[in-house]
Structure 1
Amino acid sequence: MNAEQLLLTRQSTPRLTTPAPTEIQLKFILDSAVRVPDHAGLCPWEFIIAQEAGLDKLAAAFVNAAEKSGESDEMVAKSAKMPFRAPMVITVVAKYQHHPKVPIIEQSIAAGCATMAMQQAAFALGLGGVWRTGDFAFNRDVKSALGIKESDDIVGFLYIGTPMVKAPIKPSKSGNDFARFL
Protein backbone atom coordinates (compact mmCIF):
# COMPACT_ATOMS: atom_id res chain seq x y z
CA MET A 1 0.00 0.00 0.00
CA ASN A 2 1.46 3.34 -0.96
CA ALA A 3 1.01 6.58 0.98
CA GLU A 4 -1.75 7.87 -1.29
CA GLN A 5 -3.79 4.68 -0.89
CA LEU A 6 -3.26 4.74 2.87
CA LEU A 7 -4.35 8.34 3.28
CA LEU A 8 -7.36 8.11 0.98
CA THR A 9 -8.72 4.71 2.04
CA ARG A 10 -8.00 4.59 5.78
CA GLN A 11 -11.09 4.05 7.86
CA SER A 12 -12.09 2.73 11.24
CA THR A 13 -12.57 -1.01 11.54
CA PRO A 14 -14.86 -1.69 14.49
CA ARG A 15 -15.21 -5.48 14.05
CA LEU A 16 -11.86 -6.96 15.08
CA THR A 17 -10.59 -10.39 16.04
CA THR A 18 -7.31 -12.22 16.59
CA PRO A 19 -4.54 -12.17 15.83
CA ALA A 20 -3.33 -9.01 17.50
CA PRO A 21 -0.29 -7.28 16.06
CA THR A 22 2.90 -9.30 16.31
CA GLU A 23 5.81 -7.94 18.33
CA ILE A 24 7.41 -6.60 15.13
CA GLN A 25 4.13 -5.05 13.96
CA LEU A 26 3.57 -3.45 17.37
CA LYS A 27 7.06 -1.94 17.27
CA PHE A 28 6.24 -0.40 13.86
CA ILE A 29 2.92 0.91 15.20
CA LEU A 30 4.55 2.48 18.27
CA ASP A 31 7.50 3.85 16.29
CA SER A 32 5.02 5.48 13.90
CA ALA A 33 3.32 7.16 16.85
CA VAL A 34 6.42 8.91 18.07
CA ARG A 35 7.20 10.42 14.65
CA VAL A 36 4.28 12.87 14.78
CA PRO A 37 4.68 16.63 15.16
CA ASP A 38 5.87 17.33 18.70
CA HIS A 39 6.69 20.96 19.51
CA ALA A 40 9.88 21.13 21.61
CA GLY A 41 10.24 17.33 21.49
CA LEU A 42 8.30 16.87 24.72
CA CYS A 43 6.94 13.40 23.84
CA PRO A 44 3.73 14.24 25.75
CA TRP A 45 2.24 10.77 25.54
CA GLU A 46 2.15 7.33 27.05
CA PHE A 47 0.80 4.17 25.43
CA ILE A 48 -0.69 1.61 27.82
CA ILE A 49 -1.02 -1.68 25.95
CA ALA A 50 -3.61 -4.23 27.02
CA GLN A 51 -3.79 -7.69 25.53
CA GLU A 52 -4.57 -11.11 26.97
CA ALA A 53 -4.55 -10.66 30.80
CA GLY A 54 -4.23 -6.90 30.30
CA LEU A 55 -7.69 -6.89 28.72
CA ASP A 56 -9.04 -8.44 31.92
CA LYS A 57 -7.43 -5.63 33.93
CA LEU A 58 -8.89 -2.99 31.62
CA ALA A 59 -12.31 -4.65 31.90
CA ALA A 60 -12.03 -4.60 35.70
CA ALA A 61 -11.23 -0.88 35.59
CA PHE A 62 -14.29 -0.25 33.39
CA VAL A 63 -16.57 -2.36 35.61
CA ASN A 64 -15.35 -0.66 38.79
CA ALA A 65 -15.89 2.78 37.24
CA ALA A 66 -19.37 1.84 36.02
CA GLU A 67 -20.34 0.50 39.44
CA LYS A 68 -18.99 3.58 41.24
CA SER A 69 -20.91 5.80 38.81
CA GLY A 70 -24.14 4.01 39.70
CA GLU A 71 -24.66 2.55 36.23
CA SER A 72 -27.34 -0.08 35.64
CA ASP A 73 -26.51 -3.77 35.84
CA GLU A 74 -26.87 -3.87 32.07
CA MET A 75 -24.25 -1.13 31.61
CA VAL A 76 -21.89 -2.78 34.11
CA ALA A 77 -22.16 -6.05 32.15
CA LYS A 78 -21.55 -4.17 28.89
CA SER A 79 -18.52 -2.47 30.44
CA ALA A 80 -16.98 -5.85 31.22
CA LYS A 81 -17.10 -6.79 27.53
CA MET A 82 -15.83 -3.54 26.02
CA PRO A 83 -12.08 -4.28 26.04
CA PHE A 84 -12.67 -7.61 24.30
CA ARG A 85 -13.87 -5.95 21.10
CA ALA A 86 -10.30 -6.43 19.87
CA PRO A 87 -7.29 -8.53 20.87
CA MET A 88 -5.32 -5.38 21.75
CA VAL A 89 -6.33 -2.04 23.20
CA ILE A 90 -3.85 0.80 23.47
CA THR A 91 -4.87 3.51 25.90
CA VAL A 92 -3.29 6.73 24.69
CA VAL A 93 -2.53 9.25 27.41
CA ALA A 94 -1.64 12.91 26.98
CA LYS A 95 1.06 13.44 29.61
CA TYR A 96 1.25 17.18 30.10
CA GLN A 97 4.45 18.99 30.90
CA HIS A 98 4.92 22.62 31.81
CA HIS A 99 6.67 24.41 28.97
CA PRO A 100 6.70 28.16 28.29
CA LYS A 101 6.20 27.74 24.53
CA VAL A 102 4.08 24.58 24.32
CA PRO A 103 0.57 24.95 25.73
CA ILE A 104 -1.41 21.97 26.96
CA ILE A 105 -3.64 22.01 23.87
CA GLU A 106 -0.62 21.41 21.63
CA GLN A 107 0.45 18.50 23.80
CA SER A 108 -3.04 17.01 23.64
CA ILE A 109 -3.10 17.40 19.86
CA ALA A 110 0.32 15.71 19.63
CA ALA A 111 -1.04 12.72 21.58
CA GLY A 112 -4.06 12.69 19.25
CA CYS A 113 -1.75 12.71 16.24
CA ALA A 114 0.14 9.77 17.77
CA THR A 115 -3.16 7.89 18.04
CA MET A 116 -3.99 8.57 14.41
CA ALA A 117 -0.49 7.54 13.32
CA MET A 118 -0.87 4.22 15.17
CA GLN A 119 -4.22 3.57 13.51
CA GLN A 120 -2.76 4.36 10.09
CA ALA A 121 0.25 2.15 10.76
CA ALA A 122 -2.06 -0.72 11.71
CA PHE A 123 -4.08 -0.15 8.55
CA ALA A 124 -0.90 -0.09 6.43
CA LEU A 125 0.01 -3.49 7.90
CA GLY A 126 -3.34 -4.98 6.89
CA LEU A 127 -4.69 -4.78 10.43
CA GLY A 128 -7.71 -2.84 11.54
CA GLY A 129 -8.28 -0.33 14.26
CA VAL A 130 -10.85 1.94 15.77
CA TRP A 131 -10.23 4.92 18.05
CA ARG A 132 -12.87 5.14 20.77
CA THR A 133 -13.34 7.51 23.65
CA GLY A 134 -16.62 7.38 25.56
CA ASP A 135 -17.25 8.10 29.22
CA PHE A 136 -14.41 5.89 30.45
CA ALA A 137 -11.85 8.11 28.73
CA PHE A 138 -12.92 10.90 31.08
CA ASN A 139 -13.45 8.84 34.22
CA ARG A 140 -11.22 9.49 37.24
CA ASP A 141 -11.53 5.91 38.49
CA VAL A 142 -10.38 4.51 35.14
CA LYS A 143 -7.43 6.90 35.12
CA SER A 144 -6.53 5.89 38.66
CA ALA A 145 -6.77 2.16 37.88
CA LEU A 146 -4.43 2.65 34.92
CA GLY A 147 -1.92 4.67 36.93
CA ILE A 148 -2.63 7.91 35.08
CA LYS A 149 -2.16 11.19 36.93
CA GLU A 150 -5.33 13.19 37.42
CA SER A 151 -3.73 16.13 35.61
CA ASP A 152 -3.19 14.02 32.45
CA ASP A 153 -5.87 12.91 29.99
CA ILE A 154 -6.86 9.76 28.16
CA VAL A 155 -6.98 10.77 24.50
CA GLY A 156 -8.67 7.53 23.58
CA PHE A 157 -8.65 3.77 23.44
CA LEU A 158 -7.20 2.43 20.19
CA TYR A 159 -8.61 -1.03 19.51
CA ILE A 160 -6.37 -3.01 17.12
CA GLY A 161 -6.72 -6.44 15.58
CA THR A 162 -7.50 -8.34 12.43
CA PRO A 163 -10.62 -7.17 10.58
CA MET A 164 -13.45 -9.71 10.86
CA VAL A 165 -14.93 -8.59 7.56
CA LYS A 166 -13.71 -6.42 4.72
CA ALA A 167 -15.45 -3.13 5.32
CA PRO A 168 -16.81 -1.31 2.30
CA ILE A 169 -14.76 1.73 1.38
CA LYS A 170 -16.48 4.87 2.59
CA PRO A 171 -17.52 7.36 -0.06
CA SER A 172 -14.82 9.88 -0.83
CA LYS A 173 -15.18 13.45 0.34
CA SER A 174 -13.52 16.40 -1.28
CA GLY A 175 -11.26 18.37 1.03
CA ASN A 176 -12.08 21.40 -1.08
CA ASP A 177 -15.60 21.33 0.39
CA PHE A 178 -14.10 22.28 3.75
CA ALA A 179 -11.49 24.77 2.59
CA ARG A 180 -11.39 28.45 1.83
CA PHE A 181 -8.68 30.82 0.72
CA LEU A 182 -7.85 34.19 2.18
Structure 2
Amino acid sequence: MAHHHSPLDVLLSRASTDHLVEPPPKGDELRTILSAGLRAPDHGKMRPWRYTVIKGKHREAFADLVVEAMGRQEPDAPEAKKTKRHHRFANMPMIIALGMHLQPEGKIPVIEQEMAVAAGAMNVLNALHAAGFGGMWVTGPFCEDRVLLESLGLPEPHRLAGFLFVGTPAKHSDERKRPEIDDYMAVWKGDAITFAADAG
Protein backbone atom coordinates (compact mmCIF):
# COMPACT_ATOMS: atom_id res chain seq x y z
CA MET A 1 0.00 0.00 0.00
CA ALA A 2 1.09 3.55 -0.65
CA HIS A 3 2.12 5.54 2.41
CA HIS A 4 1.35 9.22 2.10
CA HIS A 5 0.68 11.97 4.60
CA SER A 6 -2.62 13.23 3.23
CA PRO A 7 -5.01 12.90 0.28
CA LEU A 8 -3.38 16.01 -1.21
CA ASP A 9 0.04 14.34 -1.00
CA VAL A 10 -1.43 11.40 -2.93
CA LEU A 11 -2.68 13.68 -5.71
CA LEU A 12 0.55 15.65 -5.90
CA SER A 13 2.76 12.53 -5.98
CA ARG A 14 0.94 10.74 -8.81
CA ALA A 15 2.88 10.19 -12.02
CA SER A 16 2.14 8.09 -15.07
CA THR A 17 4.29 4.99 -15.51
CA ASP A 18 4.31 2.05 -17.86
CA HIS A 19 7.03 0.26 -15.89
CA LEU A 20 4.43 -2.09 -14.44
CA VAL A 21 4.66 -5.58 -12.99
CA GLU A 22 2.29 -8.05 -11.37
CA PRO A 23 0.02 -7.87 -9.53
CA PRO A 24 -2.70 -5.55 -10.79
CA PRO A 25 -5.70 -4.85 -8.56
CA LYS A 26 -8.34 -7.55 -8.56
CA GLY A 27 -11.70 -8.46 -7.10
CA ASP A 28 -13.29 -5.96 -4.76
CA GLU A 29 -10.21 -3.73 -4.82
CA LEU A 30 -10.51 -3.35 -8.61
CA ARG A 31 -14.24 -2.71 -8.31
CA THR A 32 -13.59 0.01 -5.72
CA ILE A 33 -10.92 1.66 -7.91
CA LEU A 34 -13.23 1.68 -10.93
CA SER A 35 -16.07 2.96 -8.75
CA ALA A 36 -13.98 6.11 -8.28
CA GLY A 37 -14.45 6.71 -11.99
CA LEU A 38 -18.20 6.86 -11.51
CA ARG A 39 -17.75 9.75 -9.06
CA ALA A 40 -16.66 12.08 -11.87
CA PRO A 41 -18.85 15.09 -12.77
CA ASP A 42 -21.64 13.88 -15.05
CA HIS A 43 -23.89 16.65 -16.36
CA GLY A 44 -27.38 15.27 -16.93
CA LYS A 45 -26.57 11.88 -15.37
CA MET A 46 -25.67 10.47 -18.79
CA ARG A 47 -23.40 7.82 -17.19
CA PRO A 48 -21.16 7.42 -20.25
CA TRP A 49 -18.47 5.28 -18.59
CA ARG A 50 -17.88 1.76 -19.93
CA TYR A 51 -14.84 -0.03 -18.52
CA THR A 52 -13.61 -3.27 -20.11
CA VAL A 53 -10.93 -5.18 -18.19
CA ILE A 54 -8.45 -7.29 -20.18
CA LYS A 55 -6.15 -9.56 -18.16
CA GLY A 56 -4.49 -12.94 -17.93
CA LYS A 57 -4.51 -15.27 -20.91
CA HIS A 58 -6.83 -12.94 -22.86
CA ARG A 59 -4.18 -10.23 -23.25
CA GLU A 60 -2.45 -12.00 -26.15
CA ALA A 61 -5.65 -12.32 -28.19
CA PHE A 62 -6.55 -8.70 -27.49
CA ALA A 63 -3.05 -7.58 -28.53
CA ASP A 64 -3.70 -9.35 -31.86
CA LEU A 65 -6.91 -7.30 -32.27
CA VAL A 66 -5.02 -4.08 -31.53
CA VAL A 67 -2.39 -4.82 -34.19
CA GLU A 68 -5.11 -5.70 -36.71
CA ALA A 69 -6.77 -2.36 -35.91
CA MET A 70 -3.41 -0.63 -36.45
CA GLY A 71 -3.17 -2.29 -39.86
CA ARG A 72 -6.49 -0.74 -40.86
CA GLN A 73 -5.99 2.68 -39.28
CA GLU A 74 -2.23 3.11 -39.80
CA PRO A 75 -1.40 1.04 -42.91
CA ASP A 76 2.02 2.68 -43.17
CA ALA A 77 3.00 1.97 -39.55
CA PRO A 78 6.42 0.26 -39.43
CA GLU A 79 6.54 -3.35 -38.29
CA ALA A 80 8.65 -2.34 -35.30
CA LYS A 81 5.83 -0.10 -34.05
CA LYS A 82 3.29 -2.90 -34.45
CA THR A 83 5.58 -5.36 -32.67
CA LYS A 84 6.16 -2.96 -29.78
CA ARG A 85 2.45 -2.25 -29.37
CA HIS A 86 1.61 -5.97 -29.49
CA HIS A 87 4.22 -6.64 -26.80
CA ARG A 88 2.86 -3.90 -24.55
CA PHE A 89 -0.75 -5.03 -24.80
CA ALA A 90 0.18 -8.69 -24.38
CA ASN A 91 2.44 -8.13 -21.38
CA MET A 92 0.99 -5.34 -19.27
CA PRO A 93 -0.45 -6.87 -16.06
CA MET A 94 -3.88 -5.45 -16.92
CA ILE A 95 -5.48 -3.23 -19.55
CA ILE A 96 -8.68 -1.25 -19.01
CA ALA A 97 -10.49 0.07 -22.10
CA LEU A 98 -12.09 3.48 -21.53
CA GLY A 99 -15.37 3.16 -23.39
CA MET A 100 -17.52 6.24 -24.05
CA HIS A 101 -21.22 5.40 -24.27
CA LEU A 102 -22.34 8.54 -26.09
CA GLN A 103 -25.83 9.85 -26.73
CA PRO A 104 -25.52 12.46 -29.52
CA GLU A 105 -29.26 13.09 -29.48
CA GLY A 106 -29.28 13.54 -25.72
CA LYS A 107 -29.82 16.75 -23.83
CA ILE A 108 -26.12 17.13 -22.98
CA PRO A 109 -23.50 18.04 -25.63
CA VAL A 110 -21.31 15.09 -26.66
CA ILE A 111 -18.15 16.92 -25.60
CA GLU A 112 -19.49 17.08 -22.03
CA GLN A 113 -20.20 13.34 -22.12
CA GLU A 114 -16.63 12.78 -23.33
CA MET A 115 -15.27 15.04 -20.58
CA ALA A 116 -17.15 12.95 -18.01
CA VAL A 117 -15.30 9.87 -19.31
CA ALA A 118 -11.98 11.72 -19.17
CA ALA A 119 -12.67 12.93 -15.64
CA GLY A 120 -13.57 9.37 -14.67
CA ALA A 121 -10.28 8.08 -16.14
CA MET A 122 -8.36 10.59 -14.03
CA ASN A 123 -10.24 9.47 -10.93
CA VAL A 124 -9.29 5.88 -11.73
CA LEU A 125 -5.62 6.82 -12.17
CA ASN A 126 -5.66 8.66 -8.84
CA ALA A 127 -7.41 5.74 -7.13
CA LEU A 128 -4.83 3.32 -8.54
CA HIS A 129 -2.04 5.47 -7.14
CA ALA A 130 -3.74 5.85 -3.77
CA ALA A 131 -4.04 2.06 -3.53
CA GLY A 132 -0.36 1.50 -4.32
CA PHE A 133 -0.71 0.66 -8.01
CA GLY A 134 0.36 2.51 -11.13
CA GLY A 135 -1.06 3.31 -14.52
CA MET A 136 -0.66 5.03 -17.85
CA TRP A 137 -3.31 6.31 -20.27
CA VAL A 138 -2.53 5.44 -23.89
CA THR A 139 -4.28 6.37 -27.15
CA GLY A 140 -3.67 6.21 -30.88
CA PRO A 141 -5.44 6.07 -34.24
CA PHE A 142 -6.22 2.39 -33.61
CA CYS A 143 -8.67 3.56 -30.92
CA GLU A 144 -10.92 4.80 -33.75
CA ASP A 145 -11.14 1.36 -35.37
CA ARG A 146 -14.75 0.25 -35.61
CA VAL A 147 -13.97 -3.49 -35.55
CA LEU A 148 -12.00 -3.04 -32.33
CA LEU A 149 -14.74 -0.86 -30.87
CA GLU A 150 -17.42 -3.44 -31.69
CA SER A 151 -15.40 -6.08 -29.85
CA LEU A 152 -15.50 -3.79 -26.80
CA GLY A 153 -19.28 -3.37 -26.89
CA LEU A 154 -19.03 0.10 -28.45
CA PRO A 155 -21.01 0.17 -31.72
CA GLU A 156 -21.76 3.51 -33.40
CA PRO A 157 -22.00 6.20 -32.09
CA HIS A 158 -19.98 5.04 -29.10
CA ARG A 159 -16.25 5.62 -28.96
CA LEU A 160 -13.08 4.92 -27.03
CA ALA A 161 -11.03 7.35 -24.93
CA GLY A 162 -8.04 5.01 -25.00
CA PHE A 163 -6.70 2.42 -22.59
CA LEU A 164 -5.19 2.38 -19.13
CA PHE A 165 -2.17 0.14 -18.60
CA VAL A 166 -2.41 -1.01 -14.98
CA GLY A 167 -0.15 -2.85 -12.54
CA THR A 168 2.29 -2.40 -9.69
CA PRO A 169 5.07 0.13 -10.37
CA ALA A 170 8.35 -1.69 -10.95
CA LYS A 171 10.26 1.14 -9.32
CA HIS A 172 9.54 4.44 -7.68
CA SER A 173 9.23 7.03 -10.40
CA ASP A 174 12.01 9.57 -10.37
CA GLU A 175 10.80 12.93 -9.17
CA ARG A 176 10.39 14.61 -12.53
CA LYS A 177 10.33 18.37 -12.89
CA ARG A 178 6.76 19.61 -12.80
CA PRO A 179 5.44 22.90 -14.18
CA GLU A 180 5.16 25.78 -11.75
CA ILE A 181 1.54 26.58 -10.92
CA ASP A 182 2.20 30.33 -11.03
CA ASP A 183 2.71 30.02 -14.80
CA TYR A 184 -0.75 28.45 -15.21
CA MET A 185 -2.99 30.41 -12.89
CA ALA A 186 -4.16 34.00 -12.75
CA VAL A 187 -6.58 36.04 -10.67
CA TRP A 188 -9.20 37.91 -12.67
CA LYS A 189 -9.64 41.54 -11.57
CA GLY A 190 -11.66 42.97 -14.45
CA ASP A 191 -9.03 43.19 -17.18
CA ALA A 192 -8.15 40.56 -19.77
CA ILE A 193 -6.00 37.79 -18.33
CA THR A 194 -2.56 36.83 -19.57
CA PHE A 195 -0.77 33.73 -18.33
CA ALA A 196 2.98 33.52 -17.75
CA ALA A 197 3.00 30.16 -19.58
CA ASP A 198 1.84 31.94 -22.75
CA ALA A 199 4.40 34.77 -22.62
CA GLY A 200 7.11 35.02 -25.24
User: TM-score normalized by structure 2?
Assistant: 0.83
Deviations 1:133-165 (A, max 9, x none): 122222223213323213122112011101111
Is 1:86 equivalent to 2:96 in the alignment?
no
Deviates more, 1:13-22 or 1:166-175: 166-175
The separation in 2 between residues aligned to 1:161 and 1:135, in whole angstroms, is 24
Deviations 1:53-103 (A, max 9, x none): 331232121122233353443333233212135211100011112322x11
| CA positional deviation for 1:46 | 0.2
Deviates more, 1:76-85 or 1:53-62: 76-85
Give the alignment partner of residue 24 of structure 2, picking from 17, 20, 33: 20
Tell me which structure has the larger Cα radius of gyration. 2
Aligned length: 181
Give the alignment partner of residue 159 of structure 1, picking from 156, 165, 169: 165
Higher relative contact order (CA closer than 8 Å, sequence separation 6+): 1
- Whether the 8 Å CA contact 2:62–2:90 is kept in 1: the answer is no
Following superposition of structure 1 onto structure 2, how do residues 1-182 of structure 1 map, counting pairs within 5 Å?
A: 1=4, 2-68=6-72, 69-70=74-75, 71-97=77-103, 98-100=105-107, 102-182=108-188
- Whether the 8 Å CA contact 1:62–1:80 is kept in 2: the answer is yes
- Whether the 8 Å CA contact 1:85–1:159 is kept in 2: the answer is no
- Runs of at least 4 residues off by over 6 Å: none
The separation in 2 between residues aligned to 1:76 and 1:168, in whole angstroms, is 28
The separation in 2 between residues aligned to 1:75 and 1:170, in whole angstroms, is 26
Amino acid in the other structure paired with 1:163: P
Identity %: 28
Runs of 5+ unmatched residues, structure 1: none
Runs of 5+ unmatched residues, structure 2: 189-200
